[in-house]
Chain A
Amino acid sequence: MMTPLVEATGLSRDFALGARGLFGRSRHVLRAVDRVDLAILPGETVGLVGESGSGKSTLGRLLIRLVEPTAGRIRFGAEDITRLGGRALAETRRAMQIVFQDPYGALDPRMPVEQIVMEPLRIHGARADAAARRAVAEMLDLVGLPPRAARRFPHEFSGGQRQRIGIARALILRPQFVVADEPVSALDVSVQAQIINLLTDLQRELGLTYLFIAHDLAVVRHIASRVAVMYLGKIVELAEKSALYAEPLHPYTQALIAAVPVRHPSARAAGRVRRAELSGDVPSALAIPSGCRFHPRCPHAMALCREREPAPREVRPGHVVSCHLVNPA
């Protein structure tokens, strides 16, 4: 068994919400991520899938200490980074980076591209000299941008090109681990494939480990080696990609796979995947249902599901699911 590069144990994050009194504390607490365990192995890509509000973005940011955890632990390599601060944290950050969803908000509109991409180097003490400029030029070339892009400003680029700039910035410190937070969700479909291919190529060239966040399973299918499905702050199913797509065990995963449009009407008629459309919306994270948090929307819910929360169980080798309905093979 390989040692994980990144490992979360019992990781939780609460957010205080709404009206806060003059001196008082907030009355509403939203648990965005709830006691999540996740181990990411070096060199792999874990796809993290869930509806909006499922806490997938928060989980990604927790892993790289961009959001502070309320409870639980994060290990990076051999080191426990949960309580790291100051210089030590800044040093660790070199090895873990993030690519954002919104290619417009992710780049400072007042900085030319060269400065944007160079910034992480400057933060870590490099001078803006010829060597730094060369490093930026190499990185721009690596992500497929022309050298003259360096002197231009973000507003002069298309969404896909901006995403390339964001990727260049994330990789300039040569990190080991990159959280890609819905990097293609805001892009045109034709551009999505280009960016996913770029990320795959860069992974091969630089030996990167990815947590790839997406809100649907279709995108993740191309890039992930393992897939984790998140629902209301919990990972409900985690498996090898092939196993997850071939035999989804959690009713929620089954519904998500059924929601992926089938390419051809005849294939649809063949009905390889039983249609299990979900009724209703995701419940508010402020009022998480008792027992299994999926039971109000689950077509197979039993009495037990309302009462007891299912613990994650490894029902097949490498296939972990939190559901009372699933029996070990």
Chain B
Amino acid sequence: MPADEEGLWHRPSVLALRRLLHHRLFVSGLVLFAIIVVAAILAPVLAPINPDKIDMNATFLPPSLRHLFGTDNFGRSLFSRVMWGARLSMLIGGATVAINAVAGTVIGALAGYYRRIDNIVMRANDALMAFPPVLLAIAVTATLGPSIIDVIIALGVVYTPRTARIVRSSVIVLREMEYVQAAVAAGAGDWHVLRRHILPNALAPLIVQLSFLFAYAVLTEATLSFLGVGAVPPTPTWGNIMAEGREYLTTAPWIIAIPGAALMITVLGLNMLGDGLRDVLDPRLRIQQ
């Protein structure tokens, strides 16, 4: 039915998607990020050499056809290690985003919608936000012990208050909208108003925030493992590969440069993607462009 197609075509989400696909910055960011995601997913296929396999006869080999990214001080294939490190980065970034999406939305929506609990929740939030993220994450992993799960919990604790604040500010604006008032006037309860009107309309700024958050989480995880409080070696992470490579900076610079480049591509890609999302999804900022 043509009428149906017409309606679908004008759906706000479809319109946003079309604008996104024409946004150069967004598409470039998406491509960069996709490279890392594909590398992470296909690591076992693309990098068949076991990342933990030590070969003392092949240490410090520069990049070559056999070892695309060279080898490290134990003769392990850097290509394999960086690919498997990408898996861990994506896992931790994804899990942190998931925790934030759920916990940040629940906390932010409650604080923004029920003003009575707002003060208490937001002061606790402020207290957590007063710590520098890396220090707080170190404190949490030091308490829980360094493992992947604990790093994810630490990043969740560090970043959820920031996400909650973004959601809260959207909710405060949205709850005063007249379409929300109209639903209340029609007899809608809080749950209906939150689920049908407030959360769907708060989604756009949340998605923007989460794309930046993914980059922060990857960066903070790399910092933690660089400092030795992240995932424990020999599990390859970009951070601990760089920590090991630091000692051989002059003799085998590729050890530190390659995971560094991977990190840079990830963060750059996500930031470009986030900027594109913000241009398209957040009309208040689009005007200032």
Contact = CB atoms under 8 A, between A and B. Distances in A.
Interface of A: 22, 61, 64, 66, 89-91, 93-94, 96-98, 100-102, 105-110, 112, 116, 119-120, 123-124, 148, 151-153, 155-156, 166, 169-170, 173
B48 interface: no
Contacts of B184: 66
A112 B4 CA distance: 11
B185 interface: yes
A94 B187 contact: yes
Category for how many chain B residues contact A: 20 to 34
Contacts of A94: 187
A105 B187 contact: no
B186 A120 contact: yes
A11 to B, nearest CB: 18
Contacts of B196: 108, 119
A106 B192 CA distance: 17
B12 A151 contact: no
Shortest Cβ-Cβ A-B pairs, 3 listed: A151-B7, A90-B187, A120-B186
A110 B182 contact: no
Given A97-B186, A151-B6, A166-B182, 5 more contacts: A90-B187, A93-B186, A108-B200, A119-B188, A151-B3
A66 B7 CA distance: 33
Interface in B183-225: 183-189, 192, 196-197, 200-201
Contacts of A22: 119, 123
Contacts of A169: 182, 186
A105 B179 contact: yes
B207 to A, nearest CB: 14
Nearest to A104: B178
Contacts of B12: 109-110, 153, 155
A166 B182 CA distance: 9
B195 to A, nearest CB: 12
A98 B4 contact: no
B66 interface: no
Contact of B187 (A89, A100, A109, A152): A89
Contact of A100 (B10, B182, B192): B182
B116 interface: no
A66 B172 CA distance: 17
Given A108-B201, A110-B201, A120 B187 contact: yes
A107 B2 CA distance: 25
A122 to B, nearest CB: 9
Contacts of B50: none
17 contacts: A61-B181, A93-B186, A98-B185, A101-B178, A105-B179, A108-B197, A109-B201, A110-B13, A119-B186, A119-B196, A120-B187, A123-B192, A152-B7, A153-B11, A155-B12, A156-B10, A169-B182
Contacts of B4: 151
Contacts of B192: 123
B227 interface: no
A170 B179 CA distance: 11
Contact of A66 (B6, B181, B201): B181
Interface string B147-184: 00000000000000000000000000000011101111
A109 to B, nearest CB: 6
Contacts of B179: 105-108, 116
Contacts of B186: 93, 97, 119-120, 123-124, 169, 173
Given A119-B186, A123-B186, A123-B187, A100 B181 contact: yes
